Amino acid sequence: MDPVFAFLALLTTAGAVAAVSLRNLVHCALCLVVAFAGLAALYLQLNAQFIGFAQILVYVGAVAILIVFAILLTRGSEPGNQPILSSSWQAGLGVAVLVLGALGVAVASSFVRYYPVSPAPQPTVRELGEQLMTNYVLPLEVIGLLLTAAMIGAVIIAMHEKQGPR
Amino acid sequence: MRLNSTTLRNRSDWSGAVPIRPEYGWKIGWNGGSRASGIQTVTGTRTTHMQASDHPYLFLAVFLVVAVIFPLVPLGLARLWARTFSPPKPGPVKNAIYECGVESKGDAWIQFKSEYYLYGIIFLIFDVEAIFLFPFAVAFTNLTIGAFLAMMMFLLLLVEGLVWAWQKGVLTWK
Amino acid sequence: MTPLHQYLFLSALLFGVGLAGALTRRNAIIVLIGIELMLNAANLNFIAFWRFSRHPELATGLMFVLFSIGIAAAEAAVGLALIIAIYRHYRTANLDQFDSMKG
């Protein structure tokens, strides 16, 4: 196994496990940042430079910050010694382990194990831009509509009642 | 032994002159046209930079390691210093929350203003817009007028949302 | 170079961790973090398949991940706004106390 890949995979998995298992929510968000950064490094390793930097820009730079804001907004008068697991956590864990097992078996038994390592593609941002503005114009407009709707919706939902519509 | 540049170029088995693997080439491609494939051999004076150009993110990794070590070493030294020269003797008076004046009450975590979150949403949406604008801007010279109009349409949609939020008074700080 | 199936195993592992987090934790924000992890696992799959595909010059996987990042950002903004709104109403972010829709 490639040592760089092994290190990044370990970092990402450890960050992900910590992000969903720690008690302190702020620590969870910080571990999520580690997992996102590890994924960005994996994208760089896979020669998808633009996606790697977009991952850092959007996930590490914005989504993680938004999660920290939400954590700070919702930390209230909770006593510290409440259980962190939901009441039906055994069933949930069982389902997750089953799904993980199914995915693992599917990958292990599929033909991708013997897939040849092809020479690395060299995508340039210019080619991405040309693809984006020719074949993917309609998805681009739909994403624009979706982002606008999401922004308006999220602002309306999160706005305080006092400062509501005027 | 004296090596001139011709002998360097001819002796491809020379231990220093490993070919740059194209899969690791720095290919952000701002100028687009650099799609030179094939094997590029390092010759002459550039052999000293061979390690760095072999792994373009080696610098990043080095910076990361230094950035982790840089704060950790002084912290560890301070911890060591404190452990050897001032052993902990906690007491109720010593652990009291007291800065000056009256004793403080409650937690330091006060309720956070939700205006921050509204700003965060708008920042996130325009952050995502930027990752679509980057490829458009790089490919701009090859694009048709229709593509330009499509991107302006995309921008118009998002600016519309921003104008709406502005009119709602989300951007005014209270 | 790392073969394709190792990336797929890593992606499956991330998906499993995200699913376990989304299904077992009480706090709604951690559930959302789990969902984000699952989305990222899918993105890793797309990039890995694109890297090993026969026609990487079409950049299908890259474009899909680009749009997927946009959708995930919208989802996170709306999801967290919902959690904040529910928190204002119930004064808690714990999922098993949101039971007003229980029959």
Q: H or E element: which one contains B19?
A: strand B19-20
Verify that B70 and B140 share a domain, yes or no. no
Minimal Cα distance from A70: which residue of B?
B117
Say yes or no for a CB contact (<8 Å) between B124 and C73.
yes
Verify that B9 and B44 share a domain, yes or no. yes
Domain membership flag for residue B108: no
Given A75, A92, A107, the domain boundary residue is: A75
Verify that B84 and B13 share a domain, yes or no. yes
Structure-block tokens of residue B121? 């949403």
Residues C46, C42: Cα–Cα separation, whole Å: 6
Count of structural domains, chain B: 2
- Give the closest-approach CA distance of C73 to chain B in angstroms: 7
Check pLDDT > 60 for residue B10.
no
Domain interval for residue B158 = 115-167
Domain interval for residue A145 = 123-166
Handedness of CA A63, C15, A28, B66 (dihedral sign): negative
C62 touching B (Cβ < 8 Å): no
Say yes or no for a CB contact (<8 Å) between A127 and C67.
no
pLDDT tens per residue across span B99-157: 666 666 655 555 667 788 888 999 999 999 999 999 999 998 988 899 999 999 999 99
B45-49, B152-156, C49-53: which range is least confident on average?
A: B45-49
> ipTM of this predicted complex?
0.91
**Cα C27 to chain center, whole Å?**
16
Return the pLDDT at C81: 92
Residues B96, B56: Cα–Cα separation, whole Å: 52
Verify that B6 and B43 share a domain, yes or no. yes
Q: Is C53 helix (H, G, I), strand (E, B) or coil?
A: coil
Domain membership flag for residue B151: yes
Return the pLDDT at A166: 42
Structure-block tokens of residue C67? 């749009």
Verify that B81 and B142 share a domain, yes or no. no
- Residue among A65, A7, A8 nearest A40 (CA): A8
Residues B39, B19: Cα–Cα separation, whole Å: 6
pLDDT tens per residue across span B62-92: 998 999 999 999 999 999 998 888 877 777 7
Q: Is B16 helix (H, G, I), strand (E, B) or coil?
A: coil
Q: Which of A49, A130, A140 sits opposite B132 (nearest CB)?
A: A140
Verify that B121 and B91 share a domain, yes or no. no
Q: HSE-up of C27 (CA within 13 Å, CB side)? A: 26
Q: How many CB atoms lie within 10 A of CB B136?
A: 22
Verify that B89 and B160 share a domain, yes or no. no
Domain at A13, CATH number: 1.20.120.1200
Contacts of A20 in chain C (CB under 8 A): 17-18, 20-22, 25, 30, 33-34, 37
Return the pLDDT at B13: 42
Given B67, B98, B129, the domain boundary residue is: B98
Beta bridge partners of B20: B40
Say yes or no for a CB contact (<8 Å) between B128 and C77.
no
Identity of the amino acid at C55: H
Count of structural domains, chain A: 2
Terminal Cα distance for chain A, rounded:
61
Return the pLDDT at B26: 44
Verify that B60 and B89 share a domain, yes or no. yes
Say yes or no for a CB contact (<8 Å) between B132 and C80.
no
Per-residue pLDDT of chain A (166 residues), as tens digits, is 788 899 999 999 999 999 999 988 899 999 999 999 999 999 998 989 899 999 999 999 999 999 999 888 887 656 566 777 888 888 999 999 999 999 999 998 988 777 777 777 888 888 889 888 888 999 999 999 999 999 999 999 888 755 444 4
For a pLDDT cut of 90, what percent of chain C falls above it? 60
Domain membership flag for residue A82: no
Q: Is A96 helix (H, G, I), strand (E, B) or coil?
A: helix
Return the pLDDT at B97: 66
Domain membership flag for residue B2: yes
| pTM metric for this prediction | 0.79
Residues A49, A44: Cα–Cα separation, whole Å: 5
Q: Give Cβ neighbours of residue B16 (< 8 Å, ≥ 6 apart).
A: B42, B47, B50
Domain membership flag for residue B105: no
Structure-block tokens of residue B102? 């009256």
- Residue among A147, A126, A55 nearest B131 (CA): A55
Q: Which of A54, A63, A122 sits opposite B35 (nearest CB)?
A: A122
Which one of A22, A23, A32, A46 makes the best mutation probe of the C interface by having the most chain C beta carbons within 10 Å? A46
Verify that B76 and B146 share a domain, yes or no. no
